[in-house]
Amino acid sequence: MSISASFNPAELSRQLALDPSAANRLSDIARKSPEAGVREVASQFESMLMETLVRAMRVTTEEDGEEDSAGMQTWRGMLDQQMVQAMVASGGIGLGDMLAREIGQLQHLDVAPRDVQRLAKPAGGVPQLDETFTRAALTARTRKALAAAEGGEGATAGSQGAQGYGEGARAFVETVLPHARRAAEKLGVDPMLIVSHAALESGWGKRVIRHADGRDSYNLFGIKATGNWQGDAVATLTTEFVGSSARKQVEPFRAYPSLAAAFDDYAALIAGNPRYRAALGSGNDMGAYARALKDGGYATDPSYAGKLVAVARNAGV
């Protein structure tokens, strides 16, 4: 009997990280199909290992006092658990497949894992982990899976690239320009300044933040779901700067039902926040607009203003 017909990895990603019924569900699966039970246990073990690696990566990038709130620590812990479940459901790092096959052989069960990574067996017959599962390799694969699961920087094709925004800069501009014009009227700037800002944050539509199921968040401006935000949100891996040092961390970002809603919210944020008052009425002066955003704290990258100006020049502003 093959597990492929009875195990649905998508179910794992839909479960809450703290699901009190998970243990009962695992027992039911094992009773109905020992093969499926082995596959589920292997996936849960992979989840535990990946969660440990994600937690370790977070610790190495935190600054002292940054997360001294117990509530924030709890929230991030639950977020890590949920993201790890999504990563495992989308393929993980291959460890679950390896364990399922090895346990299945010991129990004489026909377990058919996805994309098997086998243990290397030396002449002595004792299984040993090959270089695919060294600590360094596991950490690297976890980082890659984490990025791919949420469509952040370094995401693979699983993040669906520029879907919905065409191919190339010209197609991106044509897609977003009508919305940028509406926002530009509210801010008193050239529409192409706003297009350039969206291009910088989204990589011309190629690094769009997406939900775990692949849906577009339409958040082309990298606006975080902080403060009094009451709408949908999606967590993703992002790059933040502490001084001149870049580090990766998972943050919640706003999610919108449409591009129109995203550009309207962007305009409301810039127009309504006193920190960005200097950006209003910049006309077609990309330098002034970029400096106002950077000085207002829109991004932590010390080179942000220069990058925004460079993108604008490439866009012909």
Structure tokens at 252: 């919640």
Torsion angles phi and psi, residue 2, rounded to 5: -100, 140
Q: Which amino acid is at 54?
A: V
Q: Are 167 and 257 in contact (CB under 8 A)?
A: no
Structural domains of the chain, with CATH: 3-150 (no CATH), 159-314 (1.10.530.10)
- Integer distance in angstroms from the first to the last C-alpha of the chain? 62
Structure confidence at residue 115 (pLDDT): 43
| C-alpha–C-alpha distance, residues 181 and 272, integer Å | 18
Q: Which amino acids are annotated catalytic?
A: 240, 265
Structure confidence at residue 221 (pLDDT): 95
- Residue 248, beta-bridge partner list: 239
Structure confidence at residue 66 (pLDDT): 46
Q: Could you please report the per-residue DSSP string of 89-117? A: HTTTTSHHHHHHHHHHHHTT-----SS--
pTM of the model: 0.52
Q: Which residues contact 88 (CB under 8 A, 6 or more apart)?
A: 9, 12, 43, 46, 47, 50, 96
How high is the mean pLDDT in each 10-residue block of the chain (317 residues)?
41 46 58 68 72 66 49 60 63 66 66 46 45 52 52 35 71 94 96 94 89 90 88 84 74 93 96 95 93 91 88 76
| C-alpha–C-alpha distance, residues 95 and 98, integer Å | 5
Structure confidence at residue 90 (pLDDT): 57
Structure confidence at residue 248 (pLDDT): 78
Q: Are 134 and 122 in contact (CB under 8 A)?
A: no
Q: Are 225 and 135 in contact (CB under 8 A)?
A: no
